[in-house]
Structure 1
Amino acid sequence: MAAQRPILAGDSARRGRVALLPLMMAVVLSAFGVIHSSHACRELYAELQRLEADQWYLQEDYSRLLLEQSAWASHYRVEKVATGELGMHSPIVEELKVVAP
């Protein structure tokens, strides 16, 4: 029979350290993953806030432009420009021509 090597206290401790090394590496890598994902989350949240602020400003501008468009296209203003600046008027009866089909 082959003689077995006796297990020494130093061997057991070394095996424990060797087994612990992959676990420690996994913990460190996991910690770096958490740090990276937290940083990415903060960056994305800051980007979201910036985009929401841009959306708010654009919505405000759009509302202002709609109000301005309705003011420029009002019936009273169109009639005023047509008569004042373009010299247009409603046709009188003598200017009307009826076309038969």
Structure 2
Amino acid sequence: MSGKRILVVTALWLAAITSSLAVVYSTHRSRALTAELVEAQHTRDELRYEQERLLLERGAWSAYNRIEQVAREKLDMHVPAPEERVLIRKTED
């Protein structure tokens, strides 16, 4: 074989090896990014579930019945009886 031919074969061989390594790297990177995407989607789903749970909990804590219950039990409040009510009339100046 001539020197030119050996150089061409060597160049083609190096190109094939380089291309093969690029394919291996590309495949590996693609799999790693896919795994990262799946993990991010899983985290997103967990956060959505947590947000919905917190919204429901906030609604329950702010419900009128819950506020009335806390007022009665913890603050010892009650609806005033008619004899406890005082009406104040507005006077015109």
TM-score tier (shorter): 0.7 to 0.9
CA deviation digits over 1:24-83, x for unaligned, max 9? 111211110111011001001001101111111121122111111111110111012112
Does residue 26 of the first structure (1) align with residue 18 of the second (2)?
no
Where does the alignment leave 5 or more consecutive residues of structure 1 unmatched? 1-9
Q: TM-score, normalised by structure 1?
A: 0.71
Does residue 88 of the first structure (1) align with residue 80 of the second (2)?
no
| 1-structure distance, mates of 2:78, 2:87 | 11
Does residue 75 of the first structure (1) align with residue 68 of the second (2)?
no
Correspondences of 1:7-26 after superposition (within 5 Å) = 10-11=1-2, 14-26=3-15
Aligned length in residues: 89
| 2:47 alignment partner in structure 1 | 58
By how many angstroms is 1:88 displaced? 2.6
Where does the alignment leave 5 or more consecutive residues of structure 2 unmatched? none
| SS of equivalent residue, structure 2 residue 86 | helix
What fraction of aligned residue pairs are identical, expressed as a percent?
31
Which amino acid in structure 2 is aligned with residue 25 of structure 1?
L
By how many angstroms is 1:97 displaced? 8.9
By how many angstroms is 1:95 displaced? 7.5
Which amino acid in structure 2 is aligned with residue 94 of structure 1?
V
Q: TM-score, normalised by structure 2?
A: 0.76
Larger radius of gyration: 1
* Shift in alpha-carbon separation, 1:35–1:97, aligned structure 2, 3 A: farther
| SS of equivalent residue, structure 1 residue 76 | helix
CA RMSD of aligned residues (A): 2.4
